[in-house]
């Protein structure tokens, strides 16, 4: 048998509310939250002074904080103790053509849960979605990270055109291009080391794009099996496969 994962620590209980806070946290620090996080702690979770929450900042790790006081609009917290260091994020990027609102929200949430390091929207010739609400996508990464116990958020990059992305590509990062017309099975192409998975839009890549991608140093066309998957399914399946072969599921 290979190594067995350690159990999740018993304290604090898994039900302890967990929130991302966008500022560096440290021991003894006091902080006040307002808006949706305050509403969540005070009115949804109904926390009282003395109750504890878990906070993470995507910089220093995760902390146990105690609720000192709450008013109608704000909650005041004191950081009590460090719980975990910021995690080491597997060096995997997801390059994806923007798709419709529901599916893209699902994709961003699942990619975050599956452990992606960076989310990079890529504009391809058959990309039909022209406006991307990055703030909404970032909110989904935060919500997913809060829920799945991540201590680091994935980077969410501004959209780039496929040609520009490929032009700047260097061979030190494997480019695994999910090609529905066939390729090496992903499980064979995935090797440890920096990697990126490229997923096309609903309409797929054009033949020109396929040729352009294949010419890039470090690129290989990979197959995700004999069925044509929706873009968001392809993304989640590819990340899961890579994580179990070359990522942190091993
Ligand atoms: N409209 C295209 C399918 C696009 S599917 C067609 O009918 O042929 C959207 C994207 O998901 C593809 O561009 C590809 O990156 C990925 N994908 C879907 N199924 C795949 C498979 N079996 N193998 C590899 N990539 C796949």
Kindly report, residue by residue over 193-216, the tens digit of the pLDDT. 999 999 999 999 999 999 999 999
Which ligand 1 atom is at minimum distance from the Cα of 226?
22
Give the model confidence (pLDDT) of 94-148 as tens digits: 999 999 999 999 999 999 999 999 999 999 999 998 789 999 999 999 999 999 9
Q: What whole-number distance in Å separates Cα of residue 152 and Cα of residue 179?
A: 30
Q: Where are the beta strands (DSSP E) in 103-214?
A: 118-123, 155-156, 160-161, 174-178, 184-185, 195-199
CATH superfamily of 18-84: Hypothetical PUA domain-like; domain 1 (2.40.240.20)
- In the reported structure, the alpha carbon of residue 116 is separated from the centroid of ligand 1 by a whole-number distance in angstroms of 20
Mean pLDDT (whole number) for 39-60: 96
- The residues spanned by each domain of the chain are 18-84, 92-245
The CA 28 to ligand 1 mean position distance, Å, reads 51
For a mutational test of ligand 1's pocket, the pick from 177, 200, 240, i.e. the residue with the most ligand atoms closer than 8 A to its C-beta, is: 200
Residue 3 has a pLDDT of: 62
- What pLDDT score does 1 carry? 44
Distance 102 CA to ligand 1 centre (A): 18
CATH code of the domain made up of 92-245: 3.40.1280.10
Distance 25 CA to ligand 1 centre (A): 42
Burial of 87 (0-12, 13-18, 19+ CB in 10 A): middle
pLDDT (0 to 100) of residue 4:
77
Which pLDDT belongs to residue 90?
Answer: 98
Whose alpha carbon is nearest atom 12 of ligand 1?
Answer: 200
Cα gap 19→1, rounded to integer Å: 36
Residues 65-85 have pLDDT tens digits of 999 999 989 999 999 999 999
Q: What is the mean pLDDT of the chain?
A: 95
């Amino acid at each position: 048998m290979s190594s067995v994962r350690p159990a999740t620590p018993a304290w604090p209980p898994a039900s302890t509310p967990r929130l991302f806070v966008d500022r560096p946290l440290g021991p003894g620090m006091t902080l006040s939250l307002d808006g949706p996080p305050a509403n969540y702690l005070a009115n949804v979770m109904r926390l009282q002074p003395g109750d504890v929450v878990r906070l993470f900042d995507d910089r220093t790790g995760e902390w146990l904080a105690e609720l000192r006081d709450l008013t109608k609009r704000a909650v005041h917290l004191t950081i009590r103790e460090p719980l975990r260091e910021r995690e080491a994020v597997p060096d995997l990027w997801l390059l994806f053509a923007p798709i419709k609102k529901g599916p893209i929200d699902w994709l961003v949430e699942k990619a975050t849960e599956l452990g992606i390091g960076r989310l990079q929207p890529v504009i391809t010739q058959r990309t039909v979605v022209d406006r991307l609400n990055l703030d909404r996508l970032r909110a989904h990464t935060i919500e997913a990270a809060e829920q799945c116990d991540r201590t680091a958020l994935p980077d969410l990059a501004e959209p780039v055109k496929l040609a520009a992305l490929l032009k700047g590509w260097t061979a030190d990062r494997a480019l695994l291009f999910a090609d529905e017309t066939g390729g090496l099975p992903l499980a064979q192409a995935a090797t440890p080391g920096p990697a990126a998975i490229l997923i096309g839009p609903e309409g797929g890549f054009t033949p020109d794009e396929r040729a352009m991608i294949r010419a890039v140093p470090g690129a290989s066309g990979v197959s995700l099996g004999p069925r044509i998957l929706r873009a968001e399914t392809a993304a989640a399946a590819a990340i899961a496969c890579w994580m179990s072969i070359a990522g942190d599921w091993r």
